[in-house]
Structures are given as structure tokens and as C-alpha cells.
Amino acid sequence: MDTQQIEDYLNALSEQLDLQGQRDVELVVVGGAALNMLGLSQRTTRDIDTMAFLVSSPAGEKNLVKASFDDKFKKAAASVAKDYDLPEYWINSGPAGQLDTGLPDGFEERLVPVRYGKSLTVFYCSRLDLIHFKLYAAVDVRGRHFDDLKALKPKPDELESAARWCLSQDVSAPFRELLKSILEEMGYGDINGRLP
């Protein structure tokens, strides 16, 4: 999927949600789709990774709720998949587990909203949060995550913040060593001496 295709598919999803009687659906999207739609990368992505729904409380506050698609949402997504010949999981809740282990401080305040049609608003995670997530993913699987991280051109303070957050996610010695090696490879080995 490129930027235009992502936009087309999400507009189509909005139409299908409307037909299903689903109004004001608010999704939090991370990964390659967020990179593309925020203009941070032009690489194609295989899918749209959804982390959470934003749900209004009775007091009117917005709360993050782990993404889990109900039958109406699944039916709407399946219709889009059929219309555009997409794989079944073109939109998925793969990263939803991140809500259980914790998000970077200020994550919700940095979300970037984009409206699609009448029924869907997508909140893309910010560049800073993508740096956090991509560093964490790159420790385990370099490949495209490491390439994405370099494309984000993190500043030293952003990378240090991301490294500290990563260490809150995995406290194991092997993870720490791999994290240090990535920082060294990126030319920011001095950060290692400041990590807890």
C-alpha cells in the first residue's frame, strides 16, 4: 500500500462503517501506514496496524481501548478487502498488546487526527512515538524497522528518550546489549553511558 491507496481504503472503510451503522469510529494507527500518512516515509506497507480505539467516557473524556474488532467492523473491513482485492488482514490489531506493556509518556497528546468520510477518524501516532516503537522493534528484528528508524532521523535527545522507554519494556540483559549495539551503529554510543 502506498499513501494514496491507504487513503482510498480508509475512505472506503468509512463508507462501509456508515452502512453498518457504525458512526464516529476513532482508530489509533501505528507502523508503516503512520509513516506514510504523516509524510515521514514513502515506502509501501503491507497492512494498516491498529493499536487502539479512542472511546469517549460518560464524562466526555477520550480513552484508549485496546483494538479488538467487533462483527460490524470486521464486516466493513471484509467488504473493503473484497472490493479492492486485499488480504483478509489488510487492517489488523496486531500492535494492540502494546497497551498492556505501556506507551511512551505523552503518547495520546501527540496523536495526529485525520478524518475519512463521515464515520472514521484515524489518529496516527507521532514521529516521536514512531521513533520509540521503531527502536524497540529494531532491537528484535532489524530489517525494515531499522531502516524506518534511520529514515526518521532521530535527534540525540529523541533517541535517548526512546532507549529509556525501550528498557522499560524489556529489562533483560540480552535486550540491553542489542539496544546498545544499535545505538553504537547509529553513531549514538554516548547515549549508552547515560542509560539506567
Burial of 99 (0-12, 13-18, 19+ CB in 10 A): middle
Q: What is the pTM of this model?
A: 0.93
AA identity, residue 122: V
Q: What is the pLDDT of residues 99-152, one digit of tens each?
A: 999 999 999 999 999 999 999 999 999 999 999 999 999 998 777 889 999 999
Q: What is the pLDDT of residue 22?
A: 92
In DSSP terms, 113 is beta-bridged to 123
Q: In sequence order, what are the residues at sequence separation of 6 or more whose Cβ sits closer than 8 angstroms to the Cβ of residue 57?
A: 63
Q: What secondary structure does DSSP assign to 117-186, as a single string?
A: TTTEEEEEPPHHHHHHHHHHHHHH--HHHHHHHHHT---HHHHHHHHHHHHHH---HHHHHHHHHHHHHT
Q: Report residue 167 as a C-alpha cell.
A: 528498557
3-state SS assignment for residue 116? strand
Rounded CA-CA distance 8/189 in Å is 42
What does the block give as the cell for 22? 457504525
For cell 511512551, name the residue: 104
CA-derived radius of gyration, the chain: 18
pLDDT tens per residue, range 17-63: 999 999 899 999 999 999 999 999 888 899 999 999 999 888 888 89
Q: How far is CA 45 from the centre of its chain?
A: 12
pLDDT of residue 143: 74
Assess whether pLDDT exceeds 80 at residue 12.
yes
Which residues partner with 63 through β-bridges? 55
pLDDT at 137: 93
What cell numbers appear for 128 in the block? 516521536
57-95: per-residue pLDDT in tens?
888 888 999 999 999 999 999 999 999 999 999 999 999
Would you list the DSSP string of 30-89?
Answer: EHHHHHHHTTS-----S-EEEEEEEEE-TTS-EEEEE----HHHHHHHHHHHHHHT--TT
CB 12 within 8 A of CB 1: no
Task: Determine the Cα–Cα distance for residues 98 and 94; give it in Å rounded to an integer.
Answer: 9
